[in-house]
Homo-oligomer: A and B are copies of this chain.
């Protein structure tokens, strides 16, 4: 049994937990910062199951700030500190119909005004650069049935790409340990300790007339008391928060990754005009929220589908990928746009759980006496990790503003609930 005290206890050694722990320890070198996780290594919940995409193309200023500063910090970690989490700046390519492009006009103007590198490609150019891509389906019965969107253009963002999410988590872990932070693996957080702010020593505390605070965490290996508890347990946060009546604001939803290695896909690794690697960018189809990217380290394609409705919210401990989800749902659409997928079956597949924020799609960083909670919606964990870790650390210090990497100022309460200030995002996948 462990019986210990610490100044700051971080629950969850995924990307958000370790980024938070790193920045907390960095700002508070004299404080004892302890991170716990129920499994045996970092990022083994959902972080490492991610598609690993990153992008700075967002209509919302909040999304842009959080992602752009994180991307810059990842470059710094990768280039200056010598970590290798394979930042492949292959770009993001949104394939759009005319109508879809029109809907993004205001967003694209905003993105250009920011100075982000973005190009609008005409159909002609796209066909030349990606000969595999089918753009029109007029005379085909089956595509009528699928009611496919034509590809009239592409929106290409250059400062986007992919990272090895697992290696990124390990980089934060290494930096955190280097600063003297502690981690205990195989320790499961079972419940938050809700305590009276002023203990009276009467049985039954806390009563409703008492001020309450979170005093630490009951774990599978004993109680850990903490001056501040940071809940960064991803979709598992609700198991800790719900029993004390705090909403995690994130709903767990299964998401699957399918990978492919067939030789017919080699053409996707020989595409010029987008990036220095000469490969197809991370590409988003104009239909059914299907996206794929080349994984350069293994010469494979990683594919996902961001389906919206029809799948239950709910926590699963060991979600499994379903091959039928690919063959019955994704394949028919995919192969119409990219015939090189004809007859190709997944070489590998896995499933994780996204955290879906169903009211505005953005991360939440909020607090309660003795506690800070950080939750990030779909994809935000990886691509906004550094900014979110810094905001958690600033909230711990009670500061109103925080400087993100690259000297960008951010108002901490913008991601809270009471004074929340986020715009809705139009460039969604």
Contact = CB atoms under 8 A, between A and B. Distances in A.
Interface of A: 145-147, 194, 198, 200, 204, 206-209, 211-212, 242-247, 249, 251, 253, 287-289, 305, 307-314, 328-330, 332-333, 356, 358-360, 368, 417-418, 420, 424
A312 B238 CA distance: 11
B251 A145 contact: no
Given A146-B209, A333-B209, A312 B242 contact: yes
Given A309-B194, A358-B247, A358-B249, A242 B208 contact: no
B288 A209 contact: yes
Given A200-B145, A247-B251, A418-B424, A206 B287 contact: no
A288 B253 CA distance: 37
Contact of A310 (B194, B288, B420): B194
B332 A209 contact: yes
A207 B145 contact: no
Contacts of A200: 145
8 tightest Cβ-Cβ pairs between the two chains A and B: A247-B358, A209-B288, A208-B329, A243-B312, A208-B307, A209-B333, A207-B329, A245-B311
A360 B242 CA distance: 17
A309 B245 CA distance: 5
A289 B208 contact: yes
Interface of A is mostly: loop
Nearest to A253: B245
Contact of A359 (B208, B249, B308): B249
B206 A310 contact: yes
A198 B360 CA distance: 29
A332 B288 CA distance: 59
A310 B244 contact: yes
A207 B142 CA distance: 14
Nearest to A420: B359
Nearest to A205: B328
Contacts of A208: 288-289, 305, 307, 310, 329-330
A424 B243 CA distance: 25
Nearest to A206: B310
Given A207-B332, A208-B288, 4 more contacts: A207-B328, A208-B289, A208-B330, A245-B313
A242 B309 contact: no
A208 B311 CA distance: 10
A289 B210 CA distance: 11
Nearest to A198: B147
Contacts of A145: 200
Contacts of A211: 147
A147 to B, nearest CB: 8
A56 to B, nearest CB: 24
Contact of A244 (B245, B289, B305, B312): B312
Contacts of A244: 309-312
B209 A287 contact: yes
Given A204-B328, A242-B314, A247-B251, A212 B309 contact: yes
A329 B209 contact: yes
B310 A247 contact: no
A313 B247 contact: yes
